[in-house]
Chain A
Amino acid sequence: MTENISIHEQHHNTNLPEKYGNLINGEIVYEKDSYPVINPANEKTLTTVGKTTTTTINAAVNAARKAHKNVWSQLSGSERRNHLLRIAHAIHDNADKLAIAESLNSGKPLTETRSIDIPNAEAWFFYYAGWADKLNYAGLGAQPNALGTTAHILPPNSSLLAAACTVAPALAAGNTVVVKASATVPLPALVFGEIIHNIGIPPGVVNIVTGREDSEQLLREHPDVKKIVSIGSDVHSDGARTHTDHRTHTDHRTHIVCDDAPFDEAIEGIVNDAFMRRNRFTARSPLVFVQENVYDDVVERLKHRVRGLRVGDPLDTNTDIGSMNCRRDVTYFAQVVNAAENEGCERWDTGITLPTNGLWLRPTILSRVSISSPVVRENVYGPLLIVLPFRTPHEAIRHANNTRHSFCATIWSDKASRAFAMADQLGADTVRINTSHSCDPASPSDIFPLDHAQHKTGLSPYVQNGETV
């Protein structure tokens, strides 16, 4: 659909207003002090956003609390369903605006945000709208009670999708929310705030603010916030985990390529995971275990495929890989890759010339990596693929399981009986066989693996007595 639009026109609707405000109690509120929001692809200023203060956070939580007490908890499930449907429709109708905002601010290619982030966000709201009027069937008791107000901390990398995955079930369960968008990538959430603030949702039900670690801390400590939910928060700290804390896992990925893998699909799937969907809730670039007898061949094919990927302007629909959005990540990436190379790993990258402005990295493949190498343990954000050999499936399973992080695994093998047996033994939360990552609301345990008993619905973290931490 966009092939006929010239680049000039593509940029036409990217003129952003000078400033964006927080959504508090149904109003767009602008702060006194503001700071610039940068386009990481060229380091130019996109717009300004307010510096969130303690007053703002308190106002947001207060609005949410009152809205819950006076309005949201009094509504029937059907009415909440209709509100969630309104949000879903609003996302649908403003899909382009949201996709562009997400691409501009996070550096993700527009093709990705348009085809994955926004449609999935919409799907999550549609899905949970359907739960709002049938909570008594969710296995949470005959009349599950909402918690009250929940706070949602968004990662910089998949803002809108992370919001949808956690806000939709929270609202469906009867809570009101305060969403804290990342300080460096606030735009998707704030544009979302503008879109939903006048579609008829009662004021205070959804509040959206931005902020850094201090805002997150304020929310964590606020007595009226009953639960704080974070997906891959940009606070890289292991703060005290209390009963109000709900960390969804960050999505470490492991691929196991057996010698009877469907190689075409495997190469595509791995490249997809590593380079195109690398930002989706991910903490670590994927580890790829390849069976020894096909190792060299697979590495060659991976290199060949990666050479064909285009790194470029995120708004260009020909781009496969966009920019990073965090300078710290860029520096760390270089550090880790250099260290690995010094150790004896084979380092390969596409060798393209990167622009001087912007947070850019070349897609890199590290091969001849040994399982004991530190790079295997690092949490690197960035377009990196680490390829290790294995001899037997048992060995692959052992290595894959040898991590203290939760992870999801993909097995590439045409022999289903082997794949199912391996799936049993892998300590992964989610195992995929011969397919790459997907994000379906009907399978919420991918995102919320801790939600044991009520894994079917993804709702239990949001109701009283619903979750075992």
Chain B
Amino acid sequence: MSRITQDTRNTTDPASDKEFSPAPDKKICDAVSRAQSAHPGWAAFTATQRSHVLYRVGDVFDTYRPQMIDTIIRSHGVKTSRAEQHLSDAIDVWMWYAGWADKYAQFASSVNPVAGPYLTVSAPQPVGIVGAVVSEKSSLVEIISAIASVIVSGNTVIVGAARKNSFALSVAEILATSDIPSGVVNVVTESPVSFAAAMAAHPNVDALDLANLTENEWADCCDIATLETMKCLRLPGTITPVRALSRITAFTLNKTLWHNKSLL
């Protein structure tokens, strides 16, 4: 359902004689604006509220069990019991992240012992709108991990999934029927490299998770200039376990507050 119009033309920057990147696809722009409008509300939820919402999604997954098992069997060619194991694992990963919402901040913050009469506190803030790439071969567990680890801290996410990935749209459907506020998780189908380029170029996208890109895909987009503008960037080649606190903190920024405490 591509909405790219056929008669596009690249324009050149007269100052440098380089071509501007093509304007992002309309569906991607739409997804980003949905993510943007959902962000303030989602970030304003208390951490506990976010964890409750995410825990409830675990129940929704259960409702879709037969379908998901079918999809897993078809795409991985495994037996039912293996597929059930795989699905249970995926749900477990989601629940693992759900429990972090009201805990991760304690491990990413500090009171800093500065040399003066100040109360100096550093604490994590969600970075904002995050783009996450899903390749053709990304597994259900990887997709779950990519989404949950990003939204648990209050970010909203646009997932760009390769068309042939069997799981991305199922996950999107499940999350749409849960009580995650609309716009917090958005899924578009797009080739990973174009998606990465479009997200990097989009002025309202704050961070990118490219860890699911294959080597070839990464080779095609590693020199996109606008990657530098991302506040947080997760690159392929980092081997992180599926369950990792660092995946959450990868998409938070540190805010430090200095308060005078001297005027007794």
Interface residues of A (CB under 8 A from B): 78, 81, 85, 123, 126-127, 129-131, 133-134, 137, 393-394, 415-418, 420-424, 441-442, 456-457
22 A-B pairs within 8 Å (CB atoms) are namely A81-B95, A126-B48, A126-B52, A133-B95, A133-B99, A134-B243, A393-B264, A394-B264, A417-B261, A418-B263, A420-B261, A421-B117, A421-B261, A421-B263, A422-B264, A423-B261, A441-B102, A442-B47, A442-B48, A442-B103, A456-B106, A456-B107
Q: How far is the CA of A127 from the CA of B260 in the complex (A)?
A: 33
Interface centre among B51, B92, B103, B106 (most CB of A within 10 A): B103
Flag whether B245 is at the interface (Cβ < 8 A). Answer: yes
Q: How far is the CA of A127 from the CA of B102 in the complex (A)?
A: 8
**9 tightest A-B contacts by CB?**
A130-B99, A420-B261, A417-B263, A421-B264, A456-B106, A417-B260, A421-B261, A442-B102, A420-B119
CB nearest to B260 among chain A residues: A417
Other-chain contact of B99, A81, A417, A420 (Cβ < 8 Å): A81
Interface centre among A129, A393, A420, A457 (most CB of B within 10 A): A420
CB nearest to A415 among chain B residues: B263
CB B134 to nearest CB in A, in angstroms, measures 24
Q: Which residues of A contact B261 (CB under 8 A)?
A: 417, 420-421, 423-424
Contacts A78-B92, A137-B107, A421-B117; is A130 near B263 (CB within 8 Å)? no
Other-chain contact of B96, A85, A133, A456 (Cβ < 8 Å): A133
CB B217 to nearest CB in A, in angstroms, measures 32
CB nearest to A79 among chain B residues: B92
Flag whether B55 is at the interface (Cβ < 8 A). Answer: yes
Q: Which residues of A contact B101 (CB under 8 A)?
A: 130
Are A129 and B259 touching (Cβ within 8 A)? no
Flag whether B218 is at the interface (Cβ < 8 A). Answer: no
Contacts A85-B55, A126-B52, A415-B263; is A134 near B100 (CB within 8 Å)? yes
CB A220 to nearest CB in B, in angstroms, measures 32
CB B250 to nearest CB in A, in angstroms, measures 15
Other-chain contact of B103, A131, A393, A420, A423 (Cβ < 8 Å): A131
CB nearest to A393 among chain B residues: B264
Q: How far is the CA of A126 from the CA of B55 in the complex (A)?
A: 10
Flag whether B238 is at the interface (Cβ < 8 A). Answer: no
CB nearest to B88 among chain A residues: A78
Flag whether B68 is at the interface (Cβ < 8 A). Answer: no
